[in-house]
Amino acid sequence: MFAWRESALVRARCAVAVFLGSALLAACQTAPSAPDLDAADTSPPKRLVTQGPARKTVENLYHCPVKVKNHRIAAVGEITATDGTVITVPAATALQKGQGPKSADLYNECTQVLPRNSSEVSTASTPVIEIDPDGEVITGFIVADNYYEMYVNGKLVSVDNTPFTPFNSSIVRFKVKRPYTIAILGVDWEGRLGQGMERMPDTPKGNPWHPGDAGVMMRLSDGTVTDSSWKAQSFYIAPLNSPDEVIEARGNVHDTTKLGRVHPVAKKPACHEKCYAVHYPIPANWMSPRFNDSLWPRAFEYTDTDIGVTNLPAYTRFPELFEGARWIWSINLVFDNVVIARKTVR
């Protein structure tokens, strides 16, 4: 939050060291400093409102090469807000744009990478994405409900190769110096584009108007884990009986706690195809280490039961690999469908 102050202080100390010929000069020449941050955006958030279903533009971003249970179509659509803005739902992603690198599998039924436990996991063949040539190689494990893309210091290091289901988990490796900034786009994919809903359970007799839930968990070899020390902001909130159900508290909190934050207490709106959604434009430089997230709300931690992953092998087979990490999301696990989480590691 105060990275710009820390950076300015370091520069001032180094300037004194140069003037005095101090031994501190050597440390100043080698110690990395945090980047100066852009000014925080204090303007009121621009609210975009849509109603009803989106027009489907991409039938499916991913085709599972083998037959598996619970394979869902990862379609993409466009919907027009009341002010005429055209919005991609559930989100505009690096996967749809063909950007990479695509994620390396920790566990994935579609690619038949199915280790039985942590002892059968190898990271040796996972490519290392270079951020700093003289940096430290960091290895990590990440699982998302449903899709993630991850940046380090603004560079794309991993794009989830399976955007919806079956649930998969991934290995990430990158080379970087501290301090560095991680930015993750998380997307709760949807079966009903523009409405934040899916069929649940995924059977003909299941509820076809079920608001999904979400979550991201990650642990890195340098000790970095997802927890409430991260920042997390929401950008797509649905399904809503009315846009007024989103309360913009203190300018940067998109509060829907009155709707219930987790299942089973979350209210399931009966508006169905007439439900509303509230969207906020995603900042163009959200992945940059210079982006100022100081006014963003903190991330919220959730349990395995909240996320609904107590029986998913992509996660539960590897407790050692995720030790100490927490599931994180924004203030509402159910109604917030697109969230960006950020942290600067020092």
Q: Is the pLDDT of residue 342 over 80?
A: yes
* pLDDT, averaged across the chain: 90
Residues linked to residue 210 through DSSP beta bridges, in sequence order: 198
Confidence of residue 90 (pLDDT cuts 50, 70, 90): very high
Q: Is the pLDDT of residue 14 over 50?
A: no
- 25 phi, psi to nearest 5 deg: -60, -40
Mean pLDDT of all residues in 107-114: 98
Question: Which residue from 205, 208, 276, 273 is spatially nearest to 238, judged by alpha carbons?
Answer: 276
The encoded tokens of residue 256 equal: 């829907």
Mean pLDDT of all residues in 91-120: 98
Q: Is the pLDDT of residue 319 over 70?
A: yes
The pLDDT value recorded for residue 6 is 38
- Give percent above pLDDT 90 in the chain: 82
Q: Is the pLDDT of residue 75 over 70?
A: yes
Confidence of residue 324 (pLDDT cuts 50, 70, 90): very high
Mean pLDDT of all residues in 45-56: 95
Q: 22-42: per-residue pLDDT in tens? A: 444 444 444 445 568 998 888
Confidence of residue 43 (pLDDT cuts 50, 70, 90): confident
Confidence of residue 92 (pLDDT cuts 50, 70, 90): very high
Least confident residue range of 117-121, 201-205, 262-266, 323-327? 201-205
Confidence of residue 207 (pLDDT cuts 50, 70, 90): confident
The pLDDT value recorded for residue 12 is 44
In angstroms, what CA-CA distances link 230 with 153, 258, 298, 325, 335? 15, 23, 6, 12, 20
The pLDDT value recorded for residue 26 is 42
- 59 phi, psi to nearest 5 deg: -65, -40
HSE at residue 204, side-chain half, CA atoms within 13 A, is 0
The pLDDT value recorded for residue 205 is 72
The DSSP annotation for 204-244 comes to TTSEEEEE---EEEEEETTS-B-STTSEEEEEEEEEES-GG
Question: Which residue from 228, 185, 229, 219 is spatially nearest to 337, judged by alpha carbons?
Answer: 185
CA 109, CA 165: separation in Å to the nearest integer?
A: 10
Q: 35 or 238, which is more confident? A: 238
Confidence of residue 201 (pLDDT cuts 50, 70, 90): low
Question: Which residue from 211, 203, 148, 155 is spatially nearest to 181, judged by alpha carbons?
Answer: 155
Q: 135-153: per-residue pLDDT in tens? A: 999 999 999 999 999 999 9
- The region that residue 102 occupies, defined by phi over 0 for left and psi between -120 and 50 for alpha, beta otherwise, is beta
Q: In what order do the strands lie in the sheet with 86-89?
A: 55-58, 76-80, 86-89
Question: Which residue from 207, 104, 197, 100 is spatially nearest to 156, judged by alpha carbons?
Answer: 100
Report DSSP state, residue 302.
E
In angstroms, what CA-CA distances link 211 with 40, 82, 237, 268, 304? 33, 23, 11, 7, 18
The DSSP annotation for 284-296 comes to TTTTSTT---TTS
The encoded tokens of residue 84 equal: 């005429």
- 331 phi, psi to nearest 5 deg: -65, -25
Contact indicator for 240, 278 with CB cutoff of 8 Å: yes
Mean pLDDT of all residues in 296-316: 97
Residues in the chain: 346
How many other CB atoms are found less than 10 A from the CB of residue 115?
15
Q: 167 or 22, which is more confident? A: 167
Q: 241-288: per-residue pLDDT in tens? A: 999 999 998 879 999 999 999 999 999 999 999 999 999 999 999 999
Q: Is the pLDDT of residue 17 over 80?
A: no
Least confident residue range of 9-13, 30-34, 79-83? 9-13
Q: 47 or 15, which is more confident? A: 47
Contact indicator for 145, 213 with CB cutoff of 8 Å: yes
Contact indicator for 196, 239 with CB cutoff of 8 Å: yes
